RNA sequence: GGAGAAAUGGCAGAGUGGUCGAAUGCGGCAGUCUUGAAAACUGUUGAGGGUCACACCUCCGGGGGUUCGAAUCCCUCUUUCUCCGCCA
C-alpha cells in the first residue's frame, strides 16, 4: 500500500511510474488526495467537538466535587448536542477512511526505475543466462513420463486421494525432494538466514499484511469454519512475523528462511502448461525473506540474486534471469527478477524463483518500522524470494539429468540423497 | 468440548467511575562521576492522527453498550492460564 503523504507530494511521479504498469492512475490518485483531504478536515472537526465535550465533563466532575450540583446538571444539557455531532462526525470519518483505504488497496506498487515497459511475460528482459543445455539421448522424456517410468511420483494416486495437482512422491522421488529441501535450507542458513518453521494456516490479518487480501482471496484455500487461509507461500507467515513491529535500526538487516508447503487454488489454469509438476495446488518451497534499511534494499536484492545463482550453479542446471516488465511485475513488488530453469524435454523455461523488493509497500500494510538514528520511525523495506520452489527444480533435474541408464543425481545432492542415480 | 480465573506501556506490575496515557520496579536512551567500564546518582523513555511548531484528538486484548465522564460498570468475541475430558 502506498503512503498517502507520498502520493500527495509526488502526484505526477506516481501517475507517471504507474503508467509503466499500463495503468492510468490519474483518476485514482486525484480521488485519494481528495478523500484524504476531506478525511483530515472531518478529523479536525471531530477532534474539536470531542475536546469541547471533554472539557465540559471535567468541569462537571469539579462541580460535583464542590457540591454545586445545579450548575453541574445545567452543564449536562450542553453535552447532548456535542454527543450527537461527534457521533455523526465519527460516522463520516469512518466512511471516508474506509473509502480511502479501499482505493489504496487497489493501487499497486510503484515500479522501480529499471522496470522495463511491457504488457506481458514476452516483454520481460533477460539479464543473465548460465549453464549449458545438455544434449539428451533420443528417447529423452518429459518429467511426468520419467516419474512414471521410475515410479517416483504418482499423479493418479494424488488424484484419488485429493484431486488434480496434489501429486504423491514416493521412494527415491520422495527422498530427492527431501534432499533438496535440506540442501536449500543449509545453503540459506550458511548465508546467514535464520531458519523458521512457520504455520501453514494464517488468519485474515496476515493475509492482509502481505497483500493477498482483500483482493486475491480467490487464490487461497479458505478454511471457513475457522476463517483461516492455507498459505500460498511462506512469505505470508514469514513476513507477518514483523507485523506491527518497531525495530531498532541496529537490528537490521534481518534474514529468515523457511520451508513450507504452499497451497494455491490456481483457478482457471488448465491445459498442457499445467502438466506434471509444472503447476500444482500443493507444492513445497523454501523461501528467503529480508527486512532491510531502505538505503540498502537494492543491494540486498542483488545479494539475493547472487545467492540463488550460486545454488543453481551448484546444481548445474541451465537457467536464466529475467527482469519483469511493468505488465508482469506483481501488484506489491517494485522490482522482481524471475529465475527460470530450462526444461529440456519440454523445450521451455520453467519459473523456479521470483525475487522481489517490495520497498515499503508491504511494510506500510504491516506497520513494520524501525527507529532511525534520529529516533524517527520509518518504514522498513521487505524483500523475498524463493530459494527455491521444489517441483520445477525437480522437473529440471529429472529432465536435464536423464541418461539411458537412469537419472543422475547432481553431485551436491548426493550427500543428502544417499544415492547417485534413480534407475 | 466442560468448569473457573485472567488480559494494562519493551517486560513485570499497581490502578475498580472524574484531575489516569496511566504509580512503581526492571530494561532502553542521555548526562554526572571515571583514563575507560561497572556501580551509584540525575534526567528521559508507548503508539496513531493532527500541526510549520504547539494546541488538540484517539488508543489499557477486539467489538458494542451504560454515563456529562470508562482502564475501572454491562454485553459479546478472541486469547492465555488452572482443573476435567479427548488426543499426535
**Per-residue pLDDT tens digits for A113-139:** 999 999 988 999 999 999 888 888 888
State the nucleotide closest to A73 in CA–C1' terms.
Answer: B68
A224/A370: higher pLDDT: A370
Asked if residue A268 has pLDDT above 70, the reply is no
- Kindly report, residue by residue over A294-339, the tens digit of the pLDDT: 999 999 999 999 999 999 999 999 999 999 999 999 999 999 999 9
Q: Gap from A196 CA to B81 C1', in Å?
A: 27
State the nucleotide closest to A49 in CA–C1' terms.
Answer: B57
Nearest protein residue to B19's C1' (by CA)?
A: A58
Please report the DSSP string for A372-420 in residue order: -TTS-EEEPEEEEEEEEEHHHHHHHHHHHTB-SS-EEPPGGGHHHHS-S
Q: Mean of the pLDDT values across residues A383-390?
A: 94
Q: Could you identify the residue written with the cell 514476452?
A: A122
Please report the DSSP string for A150-180 in residue order: TT-EEHHHHHHHT-TT--EE-THHHHHHHHH
Q: What is the pLDDT of residue A114?
A: 95
Burial (0-12, 13-18, 19+ Cβ within 10 Å), A182: middle
Q: Mean of the pLDDT values across residues A141-158?
A: 94
Q: What grid cell was written down for A126?
A: 533477460
Q: What is the pLDDT of residue A333?
A: 94
A272 pLDDT band, cuts 50/70/90, is low
Which residues belong to CATH 3.30.930.10 in chain A?
121-422
Q: CA-CA distance, A365 to A238, in Å (whole number)? A: 15
Q: What is the pLDDT of residue A246?
A: 85
Contact predicate A74/A48, CB 8 Å: no
Q: CA-CA distance, A41 to A27, in Å (whole number)? A: 21
Domain A4-106 belongs to what topology?
Helix Hairpins (1.10.287)
Burial (0-12, 13-18, 19+ Cβ within 10 Å), A160: exposed
Q: Gap from A365 CA to B86 C1', in Å?
A: 40
Asked if residue A251 has pLDDT above 90, the reply is no
Q: Gap from A69 CA to B13 C1', in Å?
A: 38
A214/A296: higher pLDDT: A296
Contact predicate A252/A375, CB 8 Å: no
Q: What is the pLDDT of residue A266?
A: 81
Q: What grid cell was written down for A179?
A: 534432499
Asked if residue A188 has pLDDT above 90, the reply is yes
Which residues belong to CATH 1.10.287.40 in chain A?
4-106
Q: Gap from A198 CA to B81 C1', in Å?
A: 24
Q: Gap from A128 CA to B45 C1', in Å?
A: 50
Nearest protein residue to B57's C1' (by CA)?
A: A47
Residue A293 backbone dihedrals phi, psi, to 5 degrees: -65, 140
Q: CA-CA distance, A260 to A283, in Å (whole number)? A: 9
How many helices (H) and strands (E) are present in chain A, helices listed first? 13, 18
State the nucleotide closest to A36 in CA–C1' terms.
Answer: B49
Asked if residue A36 has pLDDT above 80, the reply is yes
Q: What is the pLDDT of residue A354?
A: 95
Q: What is the pLDDT of residue A75?
A: 82
State the nucleotide closest to A65 in CA–C1' terms.
Answer: B18
**Strand B interface, protein residues by Cβ within 7 Å:** A 40, 43-44, 46-48, 50-51, 53-58, 60-62, 64-65, 76, 79, 83, 246, 369, 377
For the domain covering A121-422, report its CATH number. Answer: 3.30.930.10
Amino acid at each position: 500500500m502506498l503512503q498517502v503523504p507520498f502520493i500527495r507530494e509526488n502526484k505526477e511521479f506516481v501517475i507517471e511510474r504507474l503508467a509503466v504498469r499500463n495503468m492510468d492512475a490519474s483518476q485514482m490518485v486525484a480521488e485519494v488526495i481528495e478523500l484524504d483531504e476531506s478525511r483530515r478536515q472531518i478529523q479536525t472537526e471531530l477532534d474539536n467537538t470531542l475536546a469541547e465535550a471533554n472539557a465540559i465533563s471535567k468541569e462537571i466532575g469539579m462541580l460535583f466535587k464542590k457540591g454545586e450540583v445545579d450548575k453541574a446538571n445545567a452543564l449536562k444539557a450542553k453535552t447532548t448536542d456535542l454527543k450527537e455531532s461527534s457521533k455523526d462526525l465519527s460516522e463520516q470519518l469512518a466512511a471516508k477512511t474506509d473509502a480511502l483505504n479501499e482505493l489504496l488497496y487497489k493501487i499497486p506498487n510503484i515500479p522501480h526505475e529499471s522496470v522495463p515497459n511491457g504488457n506481458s511475460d514476452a516483454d520481460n528482459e533477460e539479464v543473465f543466462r548460465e549453464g549449458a543445455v545438455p544434449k539428451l539421448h533420443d528417447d529423452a522424456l518429459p518429467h511426468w513420463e520419467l516419474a512414471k517410468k521410475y515410479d517416483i511420483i504418482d499423479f493418479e494416486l494424488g488424484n484419488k486421494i485429493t484431486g488434480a495437482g496434489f501429486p504423491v512422491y514416493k521412494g527415491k522421488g520422495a527422498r530427492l525432494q527431501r534432499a533438496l529441501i535440506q540442501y536449500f535450507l543449509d545453503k540459506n542458513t550458511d548465508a546467514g538466514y535464520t531458519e523458521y518453521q512457520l504455520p501453514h494456516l494464517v488468519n485474515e490479518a496476515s493475509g492482509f499484511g502481505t497483500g493477498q487480501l482483500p483482493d486475491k482471496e480467490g487464490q487461497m484455500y479458505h478454511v471457513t469454519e475457522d476463517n483461516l487461509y492455507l498459505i500460498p507461500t511462506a512469505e505470508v507467515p514469514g513476513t507477518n512475523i514483523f507485523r506491527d513491529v518497531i525495530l531498532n535500526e541496529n537490528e537490521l538487516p534481518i534474514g529468515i528462511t523457511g520451508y513450507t508447503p504452499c497451497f494455491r487454488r490456481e483457478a482457471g489454469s488448465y491445459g498442457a502448461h499445467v502438466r506434471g509438476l509444472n503447476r500444482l495446488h500443493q507444492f513445497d518451497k523454501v523461501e528467503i525473506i529480508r527486512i532491510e534499511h531502505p538505503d540498502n534494499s537494492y543491494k540486498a536484492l542483488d545479494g539475493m540474486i547472487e545467492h540463488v545463482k550460486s545454488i543453481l550453479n551448484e546444481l548445474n542446471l541451465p537457467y536464466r534471469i529475467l527482469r519483469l516488465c511493468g505488465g508482469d511485475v506483481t501488484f506489491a513488488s517494485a522490482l522482481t527478477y524471475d529465475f527460470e530453469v530450462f526444461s529440456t524435454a519440454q523445450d521451455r523455461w520453467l519459473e523456479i524463483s521470483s525475487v522481489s523488493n517490495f520497498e515499503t509497500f508491504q511494510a506500510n500494510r504491516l506497520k513494520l518500522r524501525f527507529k532511525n538514528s534520529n529516533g524517527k520511525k520509518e518504514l522498513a523495506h521487505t524483500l523475498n524470494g524463493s530459494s527455491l520452489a521444489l517441483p520445477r527444480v525437480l522437473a529440471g533435474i529429472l529432465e536435464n539429468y536423464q541418461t539411458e541408464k537412469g537419472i543422475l543425481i547432481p553431485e551436491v545432492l548426493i550427500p543428502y540423497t544417499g544415492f547417485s542415480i534413480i534407475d
